[in-house]
Structure 1
Amino acid sequence: MPLNKKLAEKLNKRFAPDSRLDDTYQGLDLTYITNELGEPITLFIGKRRPDGAITGERYVRTIKRVPNSDQIASSHWDLKGKVSRS
């Protein structure tokens, strides 16, 4: 299942490098992890538990860059499966 287009646009921004950020989107809790350039590369979306973890789904972003550049040529998010309480 692909990401909602508006959510994908929100995640195309750059944030603090090498960080974990908590947010919300349309009533869902989000946690995303950024790479060294501040681009979100891992997304957890669902319901936040009291310990701060998310029960829901995990997505991973694949980024292809313009050769010899940090510029993104293309990217897409892949659903990697459910994340739930252990």
Structure 2
Amino acid sequence: MPLSPRLEAKLNKTFAPESRVDDVYSGNDITFITDKQGHPITLYIGKRKPDGSITGERYVRRLKFEADGVTLKSSHWDAKGKVTRF
């Protein structure tokens, strides 16, 4: 299942570097992990259990930067399958 454009727009923002962010989006629980620059790179979306783990789908983001290493050239999210606990 591809990500919705609204969710992708939310994930195109930068957040705190090397952090985990728990949130809710369109009735689904989401958790994403950011890299050293604060770009979300791993996304878990589904239903959160009482212990905080998520059962649902996992996505990984591929980022390509310009030669300067700072300017983002392109990115896309790859579906990596179901997760039963994260």
TM-score (norm 1): 0.95
Amino acid at match of 2:19: S
- Stretches (4+) displaced over 2 A: none
> 1:35 and 1:75 mapped to 2: Cα distance?
14
**Cα offsets for 1:27-70 (capped at 9, x unmatched):** 00000000000000000000001111110000000000011231
Amino acid at match of 1:52: G
Amino acid at match of 1:66: E
TM-score (norm 2): 0.95
User: Does 1:69 pair with 2:69?
Assistant: yes
> 2:19 and 2:32 mapped to 1: Cα distance?
8
Give the unaligned 5+ runs of structure 1: none
Count of aligned pairs between the two proteins: 85
Amino acid at match of 1:5: P
Give the unaligned 5+ runs of structure 2: none
- Percent identity between the aligned chains? 61
